[in-house]
Amino acid sequence: MSNPLVQAFFVGRAVAEVLTERLENAFTDALSEVGKFDAELREQLRQFTDEVMERANQASEAASTGEFATAVGQTKTEPVDLQAMIDELRAEIAFLRTELQRYRSGRS
């Protein structure tokens, strides 16, 4: 290979081959990561759906037996005075509205 033109041709060809291989590897790795990400998202969605359905079933069973389900999914076995609970919730809402108005008026 004493001819510099021939040597430049082979160097260019080798560069093109190496770049092509590296691009193929990078593309394959990127597709692999996308596939992993998709699989993880699907698994998380499945777990979320299972948890939601489990809690819905628990709440349904609790409602059919007359128990009250709390926000964290635990149940109380004693009967609940619904009117008293509604009154307490209304009082909390009124208190929170007042606090929110006070906060908003303090910021302006």
pLDDT above 80: residue 10: yes
- Mean pLDDT for the stretch of residues 21-47: 93
Q: What percent of the chain has pLDDT over 90?
A: 63
pLDDT in tens, 47-95: 999 999 999 999 888 888 876 555 555 555 567 788 888 999 999 999 9
Within 10 angstroms of residue 99's Cβ, the number of other Cβ atoms is 10
